[in-house]
């Protein structure tokens, strides 16, 4: 009976050991799968965090470039407006008098139409007129 009890205890221990080993294998594989999934999630989270940081740096760079371009455009606009609104600078020693300069500045800058002159002035007429109509006195005296 002792041998039978020993064999039964041995078989019972063997069955219990095999059962524990199977349960532990299932438990370990579940834990290992969970650990693998956790590691994958952590890697995905780190990759997402890195992507976000890269995108934020890129957005910051674009925002800086836009800000610089905006400042440059605003300075160009202000410069153009100042050139447009700038009063004409008069020279320190004007060539014309003040009144003549004002008249010239206020005069129309349109070109005049050319007119055809059909009549010449009297001094340049084709016929003799005025002082030049008489005879030459020197010719009479020499004759």
Confidence of residue 116 (pLDDT cuts 50, 70, 90): low
Do 94 and 101 contact (CB within 8 A), yes or no?
Answer: yes
Do 46 and 54 contact (CB within 8 A), yes or no?
Answer: no
Quote the pTM value: 0.39
pLDDT digits (tens, 9 = 90+) for 32-61: 788 889 999 999 999 999 999 999 999 999
Structure tokens at 52: 């976000």
What is the arithmetic mean of pLDDT over 11-26? 86
Higher pLDDT among residues 22 and 140, named by residue: 22
Confidence of residue 86 (pLDDT cuts 50, 70, 90): confident
Rounded CA gap, 49 and 41, in Å? 12
């Amino acid at each position: 009976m002792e041998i039978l009890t020993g064999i039964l205890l041995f078989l019972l221990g063997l069955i219990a050991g095999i059962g524990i080993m199977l349960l532990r294998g299932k438990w370990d594989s579940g834990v290992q799968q969970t650990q693998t999934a956790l590691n994958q999630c952590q890697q995905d989270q780190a990759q997402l965090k890195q992507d976000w940081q890269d995108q934020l740096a890129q957005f910051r760079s674009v925002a800086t470039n836009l800000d610089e371009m905006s400042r440059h455009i605003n300075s160009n606009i202000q410069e153009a407006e100042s050139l447009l609104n700038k009063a004409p600078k008069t020279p320190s020693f004007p060539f014309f008098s003040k009144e003549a300069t004002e008249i010239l500045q206020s005069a129309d800058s349109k070109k005049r139409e050319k007119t055809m002159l059909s009549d010449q002035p009297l001094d340049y007429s084709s016929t003799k007129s005025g002082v030049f109509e008489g005879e030459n006195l020197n010719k009479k005296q020499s004759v």
